[in-house]
A and B are shown apart, each in its own frame.
Chain A
């Protein structure tokens, strides 16, 4: 069964450094998402992406964050200058787009644990 994959599984970085988290969504899916989960807190929506542009973003998704689909398979989340509070698990998800993003089932990757020192 097709799965969403994410690399790396764990990323350690110094505060102020740029990081890129990578995701390969399920191949025929049209909508892509990033979520994050700070330890002990809820999973929080960051951004949704469709047709090569951002559909919706949360308040968390400020100018430090950007997303890109650089080719036909990858979907990336870039954090320009990491802060300590960016330490979290980051989940990528994708959905088919048949019913639309508000009703689609989202399929999640295993996550990337980002640690900012």
Chain B
């Protein structure tokens, strides 16, 4: 069975600082894909970043980067230079080869950004 675990229900960061959100996963599949989604209050989930498991290089999108540790089954999200607009619920999710789109989600981490 595939599982995704986010152990931090809430996190807080000062504006302009850096914060790291944790995610661990478990799968026996060799072919899988990892995602971070952001859900601002009363808005839809949007993709922040994705990582293919076969790629060794960590994905980066502007201020967002991941630390993908395949052996440890860890997929953390680093947000640099945090902005007020980064305040949201962040979901880690996993998909795997052979599935028909069954994204498996963690419970989410609520990020607050303090001015």
Contacts and interface: CB of A to CB of B under 8 A. Distances in A.
A109 interface: yes
A35 to B, nearest CB: 7
Contacts, number: 71
A108 B44 contact: yes
Interface residues of A, number: 29
B47 A109 contact: no
A100 to B, nearest CB: 9
Nearest to B33: A103
Contact of B33 (A3, A31, A43, A102): A102
Contacts of A44: 105
Nearest to B29: A102
Interface of A: 3-4, 31, 33, 35, 41-45, 48, 50, 55-56, 58, 91, 93, 95, 101-111
Interface of B: 31, 33, 35, 37, 42-47, 50, 52, 91, 93, 95-108
